[in-house]
Structure 1
């Protein structure tokens, strides 16, 4: 009887030992898989994600650069059109150096005074001066003529192109000697006039 009980106990213990061994093996296998995953596969997954993120960032930058490159040509053409329009702006003296601008302004002054019937006594170049995006060109002149002549000269300067401005206007009547025997002298309308003519040249 005692022997039978011992054999029965052994038989009962055998499945229990088998189950424990299987569980241990499964646990070790899971542990091994976890170690392999953490040690090899997980870093590879992280590395792949980093590469994907870098690739997305590079694609974004490439798209931005492509957009800039696409708009550069349009902006360049627009800038060239603006510069061409500025060069054609008839408000400025049509020259690119101060010396040429002064010479051009003197020629215009002589022509305007002569066509109005005045007499140009002298001209003097005023030193040029930079003002914002332009260069100020000036000529100081002295002329003689009647009131009507002066009015026409001033109108021609301020109403024509390029835009010219009058500064420091000084008008003096010219007194002619009177004949004591002339009981009804005629007062002659003759003026001596000094003023500055100012024009602008585009800054180079």
Structure 2
């Protein structure tokens, strides 16, 4: 019996020792290991987010080279010609080609002085065209979306005289910009 009591006391001490050690191990795990695991999970999520962002940026960069190839040159937005007379003649020829391509009847063209110039070196041309409303719409779209950049600054639409089949007459003024002949470097540092 004494032996049983001493064995039981020994077992209880050992059990207490094991329980205290397990409790200390749990406290250490909660105070040290759990924050480390939490930090590793957060960093894993951050790495995954950055990998997604890198994939998106790589896709954008892959599309950038075709966009660069399709980008227009700055000179394409200006009318060609070093003088206003030459630029006006070129603009008149381009507008006549646009009107013909749209199936419009080209009545007249004339160089005009811009009533409200959009810039210092603007060239304006007046046109008279006849055709269907759809053909006129297509011609206006082609004028305003083509290179060089052109602006329809005035437009008068009315039924064409002597026709009853929906033919319209359009009188319009188109403006385009000429490139400034002074180099950009010469103007650097100057206040207009």
- TM-score (structure 1 length as normaliser): 0.49
Structure 2 equivalent of residue 149 of structure 1: 135
Listed as ranges, the gaps of 5+ residues in structure 1 are: 1-86, 178-186
**2:168 matched residue in structure 1:** 191
Indicate the structure whose relative CO is greater, using CA pairs within 8 Å and at least 6 residues apart.
Answer: 1
Which of 99, 118, 121 matches 1:135? 121
Aligned mates of 1:102, 1:143 — CA distance in 2: 18
2:154–2:174 Cα contact (<8 Å) kept: no
Secondary structure at the counterpart of residue 96 of structure 1 = coil
CA distance in structure 1 between the partners assigned to 2:144 and 2:151 by the alignment:
6
- Asked if residue 163 in structure 1 is aligned to residue 149 in structure 2, the reply is yes
Query: 1:24-103 to 2 correspondence within 5 Å?
Result: 88-103=74-89
Q: Considering only aligned residues, what root-mean-square deviation do their CA atoms show, in Å?
A: 2.2
**Runs of 5+ consecutive residues of structure 2 not aligned to the other structure:** 1-72, 182-192
* Alpha-carbon separation, structure 1, partners of 2:75 and 2:117: 18
Residue 202 of structure 1 is matched in structure 2 by 179
The match for 1:42 is: none
**TM-score, length of structure 2 as denominator length:** 0.51
Task: Return the alpha-carbon distance in structure 2 between the equivalents of residues 160 and 115 of structure 1.
Answer: 13
Runs of 4+ displaced beyond 4 Å: 128-132
SS at match of 1:93: coil
Aligned residues: 108
Question: Shift of residue 174 of structure 1?
Answer: 2.3
